[in-house]
Chain A
Amino acid sequence: MAAIKEWFGLYNVILNWIKTNWGEGAMEDYSRHIAHSCFKEEIGAIRSGGLKEIESRLVCPMRKDGGMVDAESTASQCIICVRKCPSLQFNSISANPNFKNMKDSCEFDFCVNEVIAQECGLVFKGEMLDDGCRWFFFAGENPGGDL
């Protein structure tokens, strides 16, 4: 199915509504709930297949949406660089004034990734870039300390 990119705007409407009504803590609770309830299959696959499964489970869907994403995996870490984020790209050119890029939409992804990592015995760290972001999944302790 061709990516229906208007749905990126819909994610933002929902996140913004939750944050406006109940604050950042509620948005984090919601993100964690979505991670636990909607990403069970991904968690199972990464648990059994290890870090190399992250590319097929988390990166490929972004590429299907038109994202430009690099991924590099070793036995102990997987580093993903989102060079062109499909959500940020769509919302920045949408004619709908309600589809605004919001920092919270990236925090939703970071929170989901953090839950997936925790459930798989990994450590996740996220870093914002100008047009995208970087995701770091480490097996066990982060050997590099602060990013």
Chain B
Amino acid sequence: MTVQNFIVIYNETFRYIDEKYGPEKLNELWAVISRQWCTHLRNLVEREGLQGMYEYWGGSDGTLNREKAGYSINLEKDEFRIDMKQCPSVAEIKNRGFNVFHRYCEHCPSLYNPVIMSNGFCIEWEIGMENNVPSGICRFVVRKEDKESQKS
């Protein structure tokens, strides 16, 4: 197994699990990955909140720089936001001649939402699709959960 082939295998793994075992099992796999794999993000969010998210995705050793994504990232007092203009993962699958599984992009919210929401934040996602194929363009915004407005 190699890192060089990981993304195309990841994409095909999702398709395989969804078709062979059903969509619910794919959701279950993503929940397991979120618990077992996202420990670095979890530690950063628990410790530093929105700043930890900025460090995870946008810091000098952040995942988006390492993957050479085309994106903009913004951190304000109560809001963290990423606008993904060219997802490196979706681009790699397409550039290598593979079909992007139609649910491929769901893995991001499935992995990250449980980590972020369990720390008192809410998230909004917009995932771009073209003819039922992920476009590689998405946006997500994280805000501190407003407990006062939820009570009213």
Shortest CB distance B57–A (Å): 13
Interface residue B32 (Cβ < 8 Å from any Cβ of A): yes
If over half of A's interface residues share one DSSP class (helix, strand or loop), that class is named, otherwise mixed; here it is helix
Which partner residue on chain B sits nearest A94 by CB separation?
B39
Interface residue B12 (Cβ < 8 Å from any Cβ of A): yes
Determine whether the beta carbon of A108 is less than 8 Å from that of B1.
Answer: yes
Q: Which residues of B contact A65 (CB under 8 A)?
A: 2-4
Determine whether the beta carbon of A14 is less than 8 Å from that of B33.
Answer: yes
Contacting residues of chain A (81-111) with chain B, CB-CB under 8 angstroms: 86-87, 96, 98, 105, 108-109
Determine whether the beta carbon of B5 is less than 8 Å from that of A61.
Answer: yes
In the docked arrangement, what's the CA distance between A108 and B36, Å?
20
**Total of A-B residue pairs, C-beta within 8 Å:** 77
Interface residue A147 (Cβ < 8 Å from any Cβ of B): no
Name the contact of B5 in the complex, choosing from A13, A38, A96 (C-beta under 8 A): A38
Q: Which residues of A contact B129 (CB under 8 A)?
A: none
Interface residue B37 (Cβ < 8 Å from any Cβ of A): yes
Interface residue B137 (Cβ < 8 Å from any Cβ of A): no
User: Given A9-B37, A10-B37, are A38 and B6 neighbors across the interface (CB < 8 Å)?
Assistant: no
User: Given A13-B32, A14-B13, A14-B29, are A7 and B39 neighbors across the interface (CB < 8 Å)?
Assistant: no
Interface residue A136 (Cβ < 8 Å from any Cβ of B): no
Interface residue B16 (Cβ < 8 Å from any Cβ of A): yes
14 pairs across A/B with beta carbons < 8 Å? A5-B3, A7-B6, A9-B37, A14-B33, A30-B13, A33-B12, A37-B12, A37-B16, A38-B5, A38-B12, A61-B4, A64-B3, A86-B3, A96-B37
